[in-house]
Amino acid sequence: MTTNRPRLLRNYFDQEVASYELLQKSRPNASYLSEKIRKWFGRTEKSWKSLDSKSVAIPTDFLKPYPFPKEEFLPDNFDAIVNTSRRIFGMVQSKYQLRAHNVLREFDRCVTLFPEVLDSAKSYDILELSSGGCGGAEVAQHFGNTYQATDFLDGRGSVYAPIHNALNLPVIGFDGSKTPYAFDDNSYDIVACFQAIDAYGDEDNYETFIDEMLRIARKKVVLVFNPGVRAKREKIDNGFELLIRDPLIKRYNGLNFLKCPSTGMPAVTICPEDQV
Ligand SMILES: C[S@@+](CC[C@H](N)C(=O)[O-])C[C@H]1O[C@@H](n2cnc3c(N)ncnc32)[C@H](O)[C@@H]1O
């Protein structure tokens, strides 16, 4: 038995297809996006099914395209950029242009990694470091929490600006490689950092970054890891265990290791109050 109506998801996909067809008419150079986004419907459906299998009711608001024309995702000089990788660098990746992909993925992460924020009777202040497409903002706010987005602006503005604007989300510029982080001690209940700590430095520096997150968090730090820079550079197969998990176990108390339901990458939650 399904808790949610699959028809709503199909309607959502139809609306996305229609909006990319519209884009294709006005910007023929962007026609490749129409094909690309279909590939990510499968990933979106996977998150939908994962939530549904846990009998989680999916709010209908999560199944709506972003309320602006797809053209807004294109950089001003899009037609002049011939190099594909430069085009990708200059705009939000196609999968993150799909609102339901962003939101359902973060919803499933919440359900698995920090479900306490889904209790509408309570409110948590959440800080997400390197928040990307900000699907987490929609989930957090739907359930009555506050959410602060951050992105690596590096003097060039965020490619996610169309999403930030549509969601009316103020964004704080954040460079994870530079400590101390510009947030006060105990200023948020939850500090989340998903698949971004590897962008701040290599595995040898993770404790410095995590110490900062624990300083800022009152209740919990939630991390999802990517493969680390050093493991990739030195081609270490069990890099997560050797360079991340084992050093963290030595350093912190009460770690709860989990898996990201969307990407299957390792995750951990750490509570500041468990540290002495
Ligand atoms: C793989 S994405 C993950 C985004 C999002 N958390 C998610 O799970 O979809 C990595 C993010 O790290 C950001 N980033 C890159 N270098 C950074 C830095 N030095 N400090 C902070 N964020 C950085 C990128 O802008 C990008 O949004």
Q: What share of the chain is helix, strand, coil (3-state, %, to 5)?
A: 50, 15, 35
Give Cα 90 to chain centroid, integer Å.
Answer: 18
pTM for the structure as a whole: 0.95
Question: Residue 31 pLDDT more than 90?
Answer: no
Both tokens assigned to 40: 């990510």
Domains of the chain: 6-101 (no CATH), 114-274 (3.40.50.150)
Angle CA(215)–CA(254)–CA(197) in degrees, nearest 5? 50
- Going by CA atoms, what residue is nearest to atom 12 of ligand 1? 196
d(CA 195, CA 175): 15
Q: Identify the residues whose C-beta falls under 6 Å from ligand 1.
A: 130-132, 151-152, 174-177, 194-196, 199-200
Structure confidence by residue, pLDDT tens digits, 84-140: 677 667 789 999 999 999 999 999 999 999 999 999 999 999 999 999 999 999 999
Percent with pLDDT over 90 in the chain = 84
157 CA to centre of ligand 1 in angstroms: 13
Separation of CA 178 and ligand 1 centre (Å):
14
Judge contact between 151 and 176, C-beta under 8 A. Answer: no
Q: How far apart are CA 171 and CA 17, in angstroms?
A: 29
Ligand 1 atom nearest to CA at 176 = 20
Helix (H) or strand (E) holding 146: strand 146-151
> pLDDT value at position 75?
84
